[in-house]
Amino acid sequence: MDREAQAGARAPAYAAVAGVVLSVLVTVTIGLLGPSAVVPALPGPGGPPFSLGVRPPAHLVIGLEVAAIVLGALGLGAGLLAARRGRLPDPRLLVAGGCLAAAVLAFLPPSGSADHLNYAAYGRMAVLGLDPYATGAAALSGDPVADAVERPWREEPSLYGPVATAGQWLAGAIGGDSVRLIVFVLALVNAAAFAGTALLLHRWAGRDRRRQVRAALLWAANPLVIYQLVAGMHVDTLAVAFVVAALAAHARSRRWAAGVLLGLGIAVKVTAGLVALGPAWALRRSPARLAVVAGAATVTVVVAYLLAGPHSLDQVLYASRSVSLATPWHLVKRGLQAAFGPGAYQAWIQYGSYLVLAGLAAVLLRALRDRHLPPGPADAAGRPAARPAARPARLGTAGRETAGGEMAGRETAGGEMAGREAAFVAVAVVAAWLFATPYALPWYDGLLFALLAMVPASALDGFAAARLAVLSLAYLPARQEQQPRELAEWLVNVVRAQVVPSILLALTIALVWWALRAGAAPGSTRRGSAAPRR
């Protein structure tokens, strides 16, 4: 290969490094500048989170947000392309860099939304003996923490799970009446969850350098995930950490641990329960093992929600019937209103979304799992038989294979295969949910990126990156105070309510088209055959 060709092959790698680094630096800059239209003020005595407090103008910081998202999307796309071409940086540097960015951002004010102010208020309410699931911050009028919550969220009770509320209570107990200190404690927990997930995904990738790099690009060094989940400090990060740990425990045949971790993830945010369908499907032929995982998860969830009280699911049930402006279902709702008159049409949209979810999950699963999982030998009835062990058996003291070691090797290989299958199912279901749900916010997509890091590369990587970039642009920023009126109206009424839903609709149609073609391609529906894999 001549020098010109080599330079062309390296171009995506250079673009990836530039895009990722610049995007993260811009994200750090937004927080470092201090309170602004995209960074809520944090009342309380001095200390972390720190900022320069320069009070930058709204147009500047919103422009910086646009730059962070666009640069991040370009960098992520170029990085995934470079990884597929074999231009691989040291994955340990990517993981270390992502964890360092998370640590730095933990000491800066959160940006992009004001959800962390709600978290602080719910923790304060729990410390003072109020039920955050039954009352909003307005119930603590005059309290410095509750008064920091922005409109229109002051009346809203918590919709987060008991484990999330427990973390908020701990932060409230440490921080007292200082919003700044409570948010800092929550930011440290969030950064730790992000870093823990990065390390788990790196270990999941094994010794395959290409898989390690891709896993780091999708999570630890993903500038869009850093922008939404770390700088935005959303509770979704903790839920992701639990369910990724659950899948890792499931792959190692640690059934009780997998069930408890799944339950903890659901008890942070109920939508994390979609991941449980992965282990359930992988263990469908092993009722006893399935009962252990399901039982441990169920007990964990039930105990957590019983301790949280009778109102702990009220807001979740309400949110499940909502339609957010940036989803394609907003266009459907407008169409129904134009055709049949005013109304919310909640039931129609909800049932329609279930149908789309089920159909999309089926075609995605066929396109992903069957193309990558190695086929097992078929029995006389055409059913897949047990798969052979992938690892050598354990050696005894004399260097001979022991019977116990051989059984352990087979069980380990079976657990790894079940873990891979569980990850494929979880990816298909979560991706289908995100593209089909009537109510979505950009930080929800962090769960999909963590799961994608656990399966081989596919076109779904690109669809996920495009979706998160577009949805992130729809919420610039995800708060309403201190916005220039004309700019805010244009961002909400044009970008969020018209442009983005149309783009996401086109993206969803393209995803279905790809999944149908990929699932119908030769070699994608093999059962018990040795057809070549692409």
Q: What would the pLDDT profile of 408-421 be if each residue is shown by its tens digit? A: 444 445 556 667 88
Range with top average pLDDT, 315-319, 367-371, 401-405: 367-371
Check whether 247 has a pLDDT greater than 50: yes
- Tokens describing residue 66: 């646009």
Judged against a pLDDT cut of 60, whether residue 22 lies above it is answered with yes
Note the pLDDT tens digit of each residue in 24-61. Answer: 999 999 999 999 999 999 998 878 999 999 999 999 99
Please report which confidence band the pLDDT of residue 521 belongs to, taking 50, 70 and 90 as the band edges. low
Amino acid 410: pLDDT:
45
Q: Which amino acid is at 14?
A: Y
Side-chain half-sphere of 304: how many Cα atoms within 13 Å? 26
Q: Is the model's pLDDT at 181 over the cut of 70?
A: yes
pLDDT tens, position by position, 226-240: 999 999 999 999 999
The answer, yes or no, to whether residue 379 has pLDDT greater than 60, is no
Alpha-carbon distance 134 to 111, whole Å? 27
Confidence of residue 370 (pLDDT cuts 50, 70, 90): low
* 287 contact partners, CB below 8 Å, separation of at least 6: none
Helices 403-436 + 346-372 axis angle, to 10: 140
pLDDT value at residue 341? 86
Query: Structure tokens of 357?
Result: 């979810």
Chain centroid to CA 212: how far? 18
| Average pLDDT value for the chain | 86
Q: Is the pLDDT confidence value at 533 over 70?
A: no
Is the pLDDT at 18 greater than 90? The verdict is: yes
How far is the C-alpha of 196 from the C-alpha of 246, rounded, in Å? Answer: 13
The reported pLDDT for the residue numbered 140 is 87
Asked if the model's pLDDT at residue 220 lies above 70, the reply is yes
What are 133-153's pLDDT values in tens digits?
Answer: 988 888 888 899 999 998 888
Q: What pLDDT was estimated at residue 372?
A: 62
Q: Which residues contact 285 (CB under 8 A, 6 or more apart)?
A: none
CA distance 422 to 419: 5
pLDDT of res. 83: 86
Quick: pLDDT tens for 286-299. Answer: 999 999 999 999 99
| Helical packing angle, 403-436 and 500-520, nearest 10° | 140
Specify whether the CB–CB gap between 360 and 435 falls below 8 A.
Answer: yes
Q: What are phi and psi of 55, to 5 degrees?
A: 55, 65
C-alpha 62/C-alpha 50 separation (Å) is 20
pLDDT at 84 over 50: yes
Say if residue 528's pLDDT is above 70.
no
Distance CA 368, CA 458 (A): 8
